[in-house]
Amino acid sequence: MKPKNNDTIFASSSQFKSAIKIIRISGEKAKKIPLIFNFKKSRPREFVLRKLIYKKNIIDYAPVIWLPKSRSFTGEDTYEIYIHGSIIIEKLIYKVLLALKGFRLAEPGEFTKRATINGNIDLIQAESINDIINSQTEKQLSIAQSQLEGSLSKVVNDWRKDIVYMSSLIESLIDFSDEDIPEELCNLFFNKLKEVRIKIKNSIKTAKLSSFIKDGFAVAIIGKPNVGKSSLINTLTKLNTSIVSEIPGTTRDIIQQKIDLKGLPIILYDTAGIRKTKNVVERKGIELALDIMKKSNLILNLCDKGKFNQSALEQNFLINSNVKVINVKTKADLNKTKDKYSHIEISSKTNFGINMLLEKIYSFLSSLEPKESSLITSERQILQSKKALNALNRIKNLSIVEETELIAEELRLASNHISNITSIIDNEEILDKIFSSFCIGK
């Protein structure tokens, strides 16, 4: 049976044994909690210790707090019970509530969904709550927190205001006959159009970088067989992630491992050594290596002895000039020869140069980090922004004199897509998709 939206929902802050668990109950019937568990009502937002009793049995001594709908997160009457974090206490409370009509367990993200539907937060803020919980680095956290505070909502609302202003300019044209349309009004309109298009375009561009902050910057370790690629990934991750052997051509699959470098999430890729080979499996591995390189933000190009093969690298990988390459001379404990192409010398055996290499990696990747934190981050936000931008781009080719109606329609479309970024969409399916990735109890 489909869960009803007017049910009173409840969930606990964690599914495990813990010091404290918070059971949140939200909905029309939440105000009955004191009656159900036989304790004295408290004043709104007052944190008070109560004895929870059901059919003369004590369930727990626990602080409770009453949050009437005008002052709760969900915008509904809410009780929070701070029980001792025992699974059995939680079970007892659930058993009592589940036996009552109109109460049910909350679905993932359902409290936040209700807060959004009731207008306490917008969709961007709802998504940012999930991002805060899933943050693994300080930068991810700071972007999510700034979204929760409303920084991105403000940026998006400003786009919408600009479009409303453009619509009003277009409407004012109706009062003029075709010949009399003042030039300055047209200029005003097209200047504003350009300004908004640039703003949205830039936001979409930085959104790509924000995805690296969310998912990790890609760093590929490449080089000929046996130069020490797998040894380096093991040293950098401090794990035995990849098999090391003196046999050339050991690594075939891409081995990936995430590290946190001073708050920057990085995905390291160990790859198959690149050489001409008749071995089909090895050749597949080399193809994978070339693929990963093209998608990387940074390539560590390893060489143990001999010269760096600059031209091969350029042919294969520098097609994309956004990819930075650091030439790394390996096995510095064995080879003392200097190479004018090498940017750094390291030894995975003695750890010589490893910290310096990490510094170089950090200094490059942190320079890619977007400085502002009011960034578009989710796929949904990017999609709506792109659709709005497309509508605005189409206006460029329209005639302000003869195609006023069409322009007005494109402006309406753009404005709708922008509204969709922040405000509630009357589409249960989309809402469910957004909130289903949340934890239960959030």
* Phi, psi of 47, deg, nearest 5: -90, 110
φ/ψ region of 270 (left if φ > 0, alpha if ψ in -120 to 50, else beta) reads: beta
- What's the longest Cα–Cα distance across the chain? 86
Answer whether 33's CB lies under 8 Å from 79's CB: yes
The CA distances from residue 412 to 138, 162, 170, 392, 396, in Å, are 38, 12, 12, 10, 15
Is residue 374 involved in binding Mg ion (CB under 5 A)? no
Closer to ligand GTP at the Cβ: 214 or 229?
229
**Does residue 256 bind Mg ion (CB under 5 A)?**
no
Q: Which residues pair with 394 in a beta bridge?
A: none
Comparison of 274 and 361: residue with beta carbon closer to Mg ion: 274
Q: Which does 348 bind (CB under 5 to 8 A by kind): Mg ion, ligand GTP, none?
A: ligand GTP
Local structure of residue 28 (DSSP, 8 states): G
Q: Binding of ligand GTP at residue 335 (CB under 6 A)?
A: no
Could you say which of 216, 273, 353, 441 contacts ligand GTP (CB under 6 A)? 273
Taking the complex as a whole, the smallest distance from the CB of residue 336 to ligand GTP amounts, in Å, to 12
> Of these, 12, 112, 130, 251, which contacts ligand GTP (CB under 6 A)?
251
Given 334, 383, 401, 406, the residue binding ligand GTP (CB under 6 A): 334
Q: What b-and-e string marks burial along 102-130, b requiring 16 or more CB atoms within 10 Å of the CB?
A: ebbbbbbbbbbbbbbeeebbbbbbbbbbb
H or E segment and range at residue 419: helix 404-422
Spell 35-50 as b/e; 16+ CB within 10 A means b. ebbebeebeeeeeeeb
Q: Which does 108 bind (CB under 5 to 8 A by kind): ligand GTP, Mg ion, none?
A: none
Closest CB 298 distance from ligand GTP, rounded Å = 18
Residue 160 interacting with ligand GTP (CB under 6 A): no
Check residue 251 for interaction with Mg ion (CB under 5 A).
yes
CB of 423 to ligand GTP, least distance (A): 52
Among 137, 151, 230, 377, binds Mg ion (CB under 5 A): 230
The one-character DSSP state at 183 is H
Residues 62, 50: contact at Cβ < 8 Å?
yes
Assign residue 249 a region (left: φ > 0; alpha: ψ between -120 and 50; beta: otherwise). left
Tokens standing for 439? 């934890």
**Considering the complex, what minimum distance in angstroms separates the CB of residue 239 from Mg ion?**
14
Distance of closest approach, residue 276 Cβ to Mg ion, in angstroms: 17
Sheet of 344-345: strand order equals 255-261, 264-270, 217-223, 298-303, 324-329, 344-345
Closest CB 219 distance from ligand GTP, rounded Å: 15
Give yes or no for residue 227 binding ligand GTP (CB under 6 A). yes
The one of ligand GTP, Mg ion, none whose footprint includes residue 249, by CB under 5 to 8 A per kind, is ligand GTP
x/- site string to ligand GTP, residues 294 to 333, per CB under 6 A? ------------------------------------xx-x
CB of 349 to ligand GTP, least distance (A): 4
Nearer to Mg ion, 108 or 228 (CB): 228
248 binds, among ligand GTP, Mg ion, none (CB under 5 to 8 A by kind): ligand GTP
Judged by CB under 6 A, does residue 246 bind ligand GTP?
yes
Q: Which stretch binds ligand GTP (CB under 6 A): 4-12, 142-150, 314-322, 344-352?
A: 344-352
Please choose which of ligand GTP, Mg ion, none residue 246 contacts, taking the beta carbon within 5 to 8 angstroms, the exact cut-off set by kind. ligand GTP
Interface residue with ligand GTP, options 117, 132, 209, 244 (CB under 6 A): 244
Q: Is residue 20 a contact partner of residue 62, using CB atoms and an 8 Å limit?
A: no
Residue ranges in 239-398 assigned as alpha helix (H): 280-295, 310-317, 354-368, 379-395
Near ligand GTP by CB under 6 A: residue from 245, 279, 355, 436: 245
Binding site for ligand GTP (CB under 6 A): 223, 225-231, 244-246, 248-251, 273, 330-331, 333-334, 347-349
Binding site for Mg ion (CB under 5 A): 229-230, 250-251
